[in-house]
A and B are shown apart, each in its own frame.
Chain A
Amino acid sequence: MTEIALAVENLSFAYGAKKALDAVSFKVQPGECTILLGPNGAGKSTLFSLITRLYDAREGRIELCRFDLKKQSLQALARLGVVFQQTTLDPDLSVTQNLRYHAALHGIGRKAADKRIQEELERLAMFERRGEKVRQLNGGHKRRVEIARALLHKPSLLLLDEPTVGLDMPSRQAIVSHVHDLVSQQNLAVLWATHLIDEIAADDSLIVLHKGQVKASGKLSEILQSTGWADPGQVFQKLTQGSQA
């Protein structure tokens, strides 16, 4: 039986009378990069808030590595690494201090934490800058540190909420390439929310979210084959046509 990193089943959520998600279902497998594509207001951030348990869903179910997020939230969250859209590092602390703080929240002791910090920062070519205050880093480097932080506790699923927004092209490419390397080399499952079509690789899986509903999901190649559309840009355009401001 294939292990599932993330299973979302019939998930619905509303802010008062306003429905944000409507019976959303999908799965993310280990060793798979799944792109969550959707225009503004599609429900991506709400979906991320539910997967990270900022709120609980009243309808539907979320499982992380077969742990029910509502009933076994601590086990489930221990397997989750997150990079939010906004930078969440403390600008007044150094790179190492930020990472040690995260390690402590995950119960990792100082010695083990320092070892993991070195491993992850070296992989992202940031180890030399470990003593610098986050405030002194540029946007791309901050993102690298956030990715290193999200991987410190060796999660099974990495959530990325538009991590490349506001970055220049070389920084974006470096992050896209690094995440795809993690997927192929470490069998990591990745759910990547974006609206930037050029970040999608040919062998990625795709979920198109529009007005709180999943409009398409599966391997990009299969979606293109079944619909006859030329590229992910056309998939996005056709499925979300008329919604853009």
Chain B
Amino acid sequence: MRLLHYWRATIGIVGRELLRFLHQRERFVSALVRPLVWLFVFAAGFRAALGIAIAPPYETYILYEVYITPGLLGMILLFNGMQSSLSMVYDREMGSMRMLMVCPLPRWFLLCSKLIAGTAVGVLQSYAFLGIAWLYDIQAPLMGYVWILPALVLAGMMLGALGLLLSSFIKQLENFAGVMNFVIFPLFFMSTALYPLWKIKESSEILHTLAQYNPFSQAVELIRFALYEQFNQQALLFTVAAFLLFMGAAILGYNPSKGMMVKKGGGGD
């Protein structure tokens, strides 16, 4: 009986998120515009300037657009994870998050369900982007589009968990813009999304170390290898570890006894 309750609640939360997504077409379009601008404008412009050597998982020389595509998938998931947590902050300010927290289900379960719902949206956006990239002649092996699914799910969960963790620290929506700048940009630019590690090493040893241990880099590499039907064990382990760490901290952050919400308060009277 309890399991049925959990199942219905999960379906309800995921279904609501997908319905909202379908109703907000502009959200879908804007989520795609960002990586497409990077692909069509940034990558096209840098194609001549940047030479990419042969490195796994690639078996031949590749265009910069091909290299950057997994990074842009990571970008979609990163922004989606942050947008999900932005909606959590908004929901909490507007009260609908309180409605969720009042239902008779454990807090950790509600957070996991929200995470699954947000990830489902991010994965749909990623496949839409891959479809457009295909038309732009950036094509991976056919089975790569199947291999990539678990990688996208895991990367989406890890980045969504980071978003959840951040949302537990933020009381008001206004504070979120600053955190976005301090989190999204460093994560994205200090990663292998735009340049391979060896290229980063050429310019800065410190940047290379930061990029190497950046969880976003690992998620991007997991996606990159999966898209070419290969398995990157280190990236998988690193991404799973980061997910567990972020999720554990987020659950603690939303704990009614110990969480940040207690310390920050929420009284409106």
Contacts and interface: CB of A to CB of B under 8 A. Distances in A.
A38 B102 CA distance: 23
Given A107-B9, A109-B8, A92 B98 contact: no
B126 to A, nearest CB: 23
B233 interface: no
A52 B95 CA distance: 12
Interface in A14-50: 15-16, 20, 38, 40-46, 49
Given A88-B95, A90-B16, A43 B261 contact: no
Contacts of A88: 94-96, 98-99
A139 B268 CA distance: 20
Contacts of A85: 95, 268
A127 interface: no
B99 A84 contact: yes
A45 B9 contact: no
B141 interface: no
Interface in B99-142: 99-106
B11 interface: yes
A109 B4 CA distance: 9
B63 to A, nearest CB: 40
A227 interface: no
Interface string B235-258: 000000000000000000000110
A54 B256 contact: yes
Interface in A201-234: none
Interface residues of B, number: 38
A195 to B, nearest CB: 9
Contacts of A15: 263, 265, 267
Nearest to A42: B269
Contact of B98 (A54, A105, A108): A54
Contact of B20 (A46, A53, A92, A102): A92
B269 A86 contact: no
A76 B259 CA distance: 21
A74 B19 CA distance: 27
Contacts of B6: 107
Interface of A is mostly: loop
Contact of B105 (A70, A74, A89): A74
Nearest to A86: B95
Contacts of B34: none
A49 B269 CA distance: 11
Interface in B157-206: none
A125 interface: no
Interface stretch (A3-11, A93-101, A177-185, A237-245): A93-101
A87 B95 contact: yes
A82 B99 contact: yes
B11 to A, nearest CB: 6
Contact of B12 (A44, A80, A101): A101
Contacts of B261: 54-55
B146 interface: no
A82 B268 CA distance: 16
Interface of A: 15-16, 20, 38, 40-46, 49, 52-56, 70, 73-78, 80, 82, 84-90, 92-93, 97, 100-109
Interface of B: 1, 4-6, 8-9, 11-13, 15-16, 19-20, 23-24, 94-96, 98-106, 256-257, 259, 261-263, 265-269
A-B residue pairs, 4 tightest by C-beta: A104-B12, A107-B5, A45-B269, A105-B103
5 contacts: A45-B269, A75-B104, A89-B96, A101-B13, A105-B13
Given A84-B98, A93-B16, 5 more contacts: A20-B265, A49-B267, A56-B257, A104-B12, A106-B5
